Amino acid sequence: MTVLAYDLGASGGKALLGRLTDRGIEVEELHRFPNDPVQVGQRLHWDILRLYHEIKQGLLKAKLRGAVPESVAIDSWAVDFGLLGNNGELLGNPYHYRDRHTEGAMEKVLAAVPRERIFQRTGIQFLPFNTMYQLAALKEAGSPLLKEAARFLMIPDLLRYFLTGETMNEFSNATTTQLFNPTLGDWDGELLAALDIPPSWFGPVAEPGTPAGQLLPSVCAELGVGSIPVIAVAEHDTGSAVAAVPALERSFAYLSCGTWSLLGTEIERPVMNEEALRCNFTNEGGIGRTFRLLKNIMGLWILQELRREWEKEGQSRSFSELALLAAGAPPFRAWIDPDDALFLPAGDMLPRIRQYCLRTGQHAPEDAGEAVRCILESLALKYRYVLEMTERLAGRQFSGLHMVGGGIHNTLLCRWTASAIGKPVWAGPAEGSAVGNLAVQWIARGAFPDIWEARKAIRESFPVAVYEPEERDAWEEAYGKFIAVTGLAE
Ligand code: LFR
């Protein structure tokens, strides 16, 4: 059975064709495209129509390849959205979650609605760019968008609507807004009222794996294809990535590693106690009524930005070249907390890393090797910190860590992660989100009875690299120092 997955990330997107045969799962990349946000004046937008264009290109390539899929589905990053007017047309270009208009918005909302109340009602971590604070920022700025809006759709909801003409909000993404109440299983009326947002913008929420219409006749005519069903999968990319974790045990720890690093475990019921709130953990909705108890870690973003800055200065270096430089730099000299607010916006990362290190009384990295080493060691050590928190909150110990996503191509990071956590890392598949997207389409179409059968097939079809911990004592000592300099112990 052949199905097509679109996976859109913060820096690029791809269309992957998946074939399920007697030999297992085979994937073929049909189309890959950049996703460059566009700065216009003070605003940072997603180029949503270009993304829709690329989605159609993917279908065209499938047709030309003679492989028209039996269904298609889209997943993307979370929290961002588009608003439709009452004529069904998109109002404006969606904002990027890194747009600076949310600065201070979360604090203002929290002054009106206590943090405990929001967490009790949503179970979602407090990130300054959550949909809730984006809407509050638009409100505060008197945005005309809010006056004209009739319908709210997350990014994959919106692209799916362009394909099918049907509006439907999907569960895994809906939870990331911090406006969805998992206890009620519905949008939270109290929080919407506090923001003065009409509940009529939001539709009933569909579970991952729900059939969500067919390609519109106009789309079929434009591309020269017949009608194809569209499925709402776990449309939050992290939801799809976790669906693809080839775990053997029912309870497992994962790290979805890309622009962001999402580390946690899959659970049956959200953990919404004081400790989870204190640790700023989240409970994002997943497949089969599960939740992802996890925490966002800034991830490879800092390195991606550093590389982009160097490129602008005419110093183009691949990620593997940068990793080589890091491997050659002296170990354990300086660390950052990658989740310091300093590193959230785009731009000049090297001065910010140096500033952080000097502020905390450390040696400030001087060259590329030192800077990259500082980032990768800091990530590995932060993974240990968050893994230990996950174990405390979930009330269990994990025997190792599954890593999925493009970040596993950085083998140095995988090695150092195993060393930092003192447990094995099992890395694969690299196309985690796209593979999870395919898997949920196959479940929806009856090819797998449930996610565990799908995970079994994934385990048998994709290589998993094993990294064992090395230099235990040195990493143990480094961890203690990392916790002290970053102030994470407090
Ligand atoms: C990862 C991700 C994270 C989300 C962040 C922003 O790609 O979806 O889960 O917190 O992007 O949307």
Which residue out of 80, 188, 237, 339 is catalytically annotated?
A: 237
CB 43 within 8 A of CB 30: no
Tens place of pLDDT for every residue, the chain, 490 residues? 999 999 999 999 999 999 999 999 999 999 999 999 999 999 999 999 999 999 999 999 999 999 999 999 999 999 999 999 999 999 999 999 999 999 999 999 999 999 999 999 999 999 999 999 999 999 999 999 999 999 999 999 999 999 999 999 999 999 999 999 999 999 999 999 999 999 999 999 999 999 999 999 999 999 999 999 999 999 999 999 999 999 989 999 999 999 999 999 999 999 999 999 999 999 999 999 999 999 999 999 999 999 999 999 999 999 999 999 999 999 999 999 999 999 999 999 999 999 999 999 999 999 999 999 999 999 999 999 999 999 999 999 999 999 999 999 999 999 999 999 999 999 999 999 999 999 999 999 999 999 999 999 999 999 999 999 999 999 999 999 999 999 998 6
Q: Does the C-beta of 97 come closer than 6 Å to ligand 1?
A: yes
| 117/108 Cα distance (integer angstroms) | 15
Q: Is the ipTM of this complex over 0.95?
A: yes
Mutate to test the pocket of ligand 1, among 296, 304, 431 (most ligand atoms within 8 A of CB): 296
264 near 296, Cβ under 8 Å? no
What is the model's pTM?
0.97
Report the distance separating Cα 199 and Cα 180, nearest Å. 11
Any ligand 1 atom below 6 A from CB of 282: no
The third-level CATH classification (topology) of the domain covering 245-428+448-490 is Nucleotidyltransferase; domain 5 (3.30.420)
Helices assigned H by DSSP within 3-44: none
Identify the residue whose C-alpha is closest to ligand 1 atom 2.
77
Task: Using the mean position of ligand 1's atoms as its centre, give its distance from the Cα of residue 175 in Å.
Answer: 12
Which residue's C-alpha comes closest to atom 12 of ligand 1? 78
Q: Is 237 a catalytic residue?
A: yes
CB atoms within 10 A of CB 468: 11
CA of 258 to the centre of ligand 1 (A): 9
3-state helix, strand, coil in the chain (%, to 5): 45, 20, 35
| Token pair in block for residue 2 | 């052949």
Q: Which of 79, 134, 242, 280 to mutate to test the pocket of ligand 1 (most atoms within 8 A of CB)?
A: 79
Helix (H) or strand (E) holding 331: none
> What CATH number belongs to 2-237?
3.30.420.40
CA-closest residue to ligand 1 atom 7: 77
DSSP string of 275-326, one letter each residue: HHHHTT-EEEE-GGG-EEEEEEE-TTHHHHHHHHHHHHTT----HHHHHHHH
User: Cβ(260) to ligand 1 under 6 A?
Assistant: yes
C-alpha radius of gyration, the chain, whole number = 22
Relative to the CA of 262, which ligand 1 atom is closest?
9
Say yes or no: CB of residue 238 within 6 Å of ligand 1: yes
Comma-separated ranges of CATH 3.30.420.40 domains in the chain: 2-237, 245-428+448-490
Distance in Å, CA 362 to ligand 1 centroid: 31
| C-beta atoms surrounding 418 within 10 Å | 25
Whose alpha carbon is nearest atom 4 of ligand 1? 78
